[in-house]
Homo-oligomer: A and B are copies of this chain.
Amino acid sequence: MVIVMKAKTPRANIDKLIKKLEDMGLGVHETIGQNYSILGLIGDTSKLNKEQIEVYDDVEKVMRVQHPFKLASRLFHPEDSVITVGNTKVGGDNLTIIAGPCSVETEEQMIEVARDVKRAGATLLRGGAYKPRSSPYSFQGLGEDGLKLLKKASEETGLPIVTEAICLDTIDVVAKYSDVIQIGARNMQNFALLKKAGKLGKPVLLKRGLSATIEEWLMAAEYIMSEGNEDVILCERGIRTFETYTRNTLDLSAIPVIKEISHLPIIVDPSHATGKWKMVRPLSKGAVAVGADGLMIEVHNNPECALCDGAQSLKPSKFKELMDELKIV
């Protein structure tokens, strides 16, 4: 950690702060510049909050040198993490394709879509049973009934299940039926849910929050990992910007950043990012070319009747075409 003291801070005040830091067991190295003094801290600063230092009137600013995450950091875990999910692996040289409808609606729909996506090359099956909806008047998902239908479709096709847990009250039942527990964008900083997800012994797919920095996202992963669960799969799904033509702005530059500073696998969800099925194909190809470990794509056998987010769902035939194109990339 580096502390920049305000210009013209009296010597005595600097010495007092140095004393305080030393009392905390830290080494302090001072650089006296023309206008500013800079204190470089030596030792374990991971428990020290920037705010505890910024509070001093004489402090101009405080800068972290080290990332605040440890378990998620490549610095302490140089090899890529590869996560086993049922009969498939996520990360490393594997290209994971998670496909399925936004919401589980009927048995017929689930079985049909599951078969279609399996045939086209998907490696995991998705489908929402508990849906976080911005309106209390919108369809909120079938709940455990939906999980049962997902399970049936999974047994039919052999595809492991990814489905979202939205609250502490229902995460256990989600864990019972699913192979991967998804934490959605809106819950990325629902810390109680993250801790719980860290204790259930199943891999977790962690979506990036709409306005989460990459550092905050990795700190959310750290919450899960610090409970003993190292199987975290990151999922970029668009960030909120001023541009309104697309629902959100897919941040593909996050992929090489994550690859550099973390060892966790990262997949991309172009369906939610753009909200438009026509954009799923080009952005899927882009995500793979940039180096994503996989994709999460909404597929619905009848998007026009989908109970939510139909506009961003591919029909199975379009999904098949995309999968064929990806084999070439």
Contact = CB atoms under 8 A, between A and B. Distances in A.
Interface in A259-300: 260, 273-276, 278-279, 282-283, 285-291
A211 B136 contact: no
Nearest to A241: B241
A243 B239 contact: yes
Given A34-B42, A210-B211, A283-B256, A63 B2 contact: yes
Q: In the assembly, how many copies of this chain are there?
A: 4
A245 B215 contact: yes
A283 B35 contact: no
Contacts of A51: 275, 306, 308-312
Interface stretch (A84-92, A149-157, A163-171): A163-171
Contact of A282 (B60, B134, B136, B255): B255
Nearest to A215: B245
A31 interface: yes
Most chain B CB atoms below 10 A, which of A169, A193, A223, A290: A290
A321 interface: no
A13 interface: no
A174 interface: no
Contact of A33 (B40, B214, B255): B40
A51 B131 CA distance: 15
A192 to B, nearest CB: 3
A44 B34 contact: yes
Interface residues of A, number: 103
Nearest to A251: B249
A157 to B, nearest CB: 25
A190 B190 contact: yes
A240 interface: yes
Contacts of A276: 54
Nearest to A313: B55
A111 interface: no
A226 B47 CA distance: 42
Contacts of A47: 137
15 contacts: A29-B29, A31-B40, A34-B43, A35-B75, A51-B306, A54-B276, A55-B306, A55-B311, A56-B304, A63-B63, A134-B216, A166-B191, A190-B190, A250-B252, A256-B278
The 10 residue pairs across chains A and B that have the minimum distance between CB atoms: A31-B40, A211-B211, A167-B192, A289-B289, A286-B290, A55-B310, A29-B31, A54-B311, A186-B189, A285-B289
Interface of A: 2, 4, 7, 29, 31-36, 38, 40-44, 46-47, 49, 51-52, 54-56, 60, 63, 65-66, 68, 75, 132-138, 166-170, 186-187, 189-193, 195, 210-211, 213-216, 219, 222-223, 226, 239-246, 249-257, 260, 273-276, 278-279, 282-283, 285-291, 303-304, 306, 308-313, 329
